[in-house]
């Protein structure tokens, strides 16, 4: 483990190591069983429905990723890690609270408004990730940094098996970055939408139930947005010069 210059950095180094272990752990019996059930359900759904959903998620996500309001953000000057993370945590709290309000509003409105939750919540989550990247000093106008943002998203909203694969790519980002195709369409959107949908389906179904939809929408949106923010923090810590050598013992 590298030498840290402050107590804060020592705490972060330990936190990062624990997070890495959680990203690398093998799928549990429950994870595997759930994934098998979801896979069978997905096989029942007609292929044309999968194509339509994949296209919708791809276009919404691409619109968010390439929207002028996201790609024109200026790269922020990086100060001390502790100062950066004070601001990052403030923004995570802000976006988690905003997502909770949005989830409550759409959940209260019933089925039709709950359908609107997907693009609204997705936009909030992506906007938060762009801001976090900028706070850590990364240029979000760089196409490959936007791919890293998609990896953070997948790392949060995927099965443990898929998480293992994505984490390996992120942990070896220098190599992964060089191997990325120039065409954004080459990104595996089908797996992206299936993993995301399978991860949040059960939680979001509660939002459709009359009477509890608003509460469920608020709680789920807040919890998962906060989880995404914390994943992003660790993903960018992993690339920080001070913590690049934080390695797992089994590597």
Q: Is the pLDDT of residue 95 over 70?
A: yes
**Residue range 113-140, pLDDT digits in tens:** 555 566 778 888 889 999 999 999 999 8
**What six digits make up the tokens of 99?**
């997502």
The Cα 28–Cα 32 span in angstroms is 6
Mean local confidence (pLDDT), 210-215: 66
Nearest CA among 50, 28, 51 for reference residue 198? 50
DSSP 1-58: -PPPSSHHHHHHHHHHHHHHHHHHSPPPHHHHHHHHHHHHHHHHS-HHHHHHHHHHHH
The Cα 37–Cα 22 span in angstroms is 23
Confidence of residue 1 (pLDDT cuts 50, 70, 90): very low
């Amino acid at each position: 483990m590298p030498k840290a210059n402050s107590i804060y950095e020592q705490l972060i180094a330990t936190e990062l190591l624990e997070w890495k272990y959680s990203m690398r752990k093998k799928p549990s019996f429950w994870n595997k069983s759930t994934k098998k059930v979801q896979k069978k359900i997905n096989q029942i759904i007609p292929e044309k429905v999968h194509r339509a959903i994949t296209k919708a998620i791809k276009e919404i996500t691409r619109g968010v990723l390439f929207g002028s309001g996201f790609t024109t953000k200026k790269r922020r000057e990086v100060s001390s890690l502790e100062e950066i993370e004070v601001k990052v945590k403030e923004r995570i709290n802000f976006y988690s609270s905003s997502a909770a309000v949005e989830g409550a509003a759409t959940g209260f409105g019933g089925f039709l408004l709950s359908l609107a939750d997907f693009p609204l919540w997705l936009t909030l989550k992506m906007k938060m990730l762009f801001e976090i990247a900028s706070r850590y000093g990364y240029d979000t106008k760089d196409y490959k940094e936007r791919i890293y943002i998609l990896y953070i998203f997948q790392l949060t909203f995927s099965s443990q098996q898929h998480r293992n694969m994505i984490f390996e790519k992120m942990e070896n980002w220098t190599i992964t970055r060089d191997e990325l195709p120039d065409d954004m369409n080459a990104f595996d959107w089908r797996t992206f939408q299936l993993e995301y949908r399978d991860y949040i389906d059960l939680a979001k179904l509660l939002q459709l139930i009359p009477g509890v939809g608003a509460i469920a929408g608020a709680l789920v949106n807040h919890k998962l947005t906060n989880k995404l923010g914390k994943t992003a923090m660790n993903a960018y810590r992993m690339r920080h010069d001070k913590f690049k050598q934080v390695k797992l013992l089994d590597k």
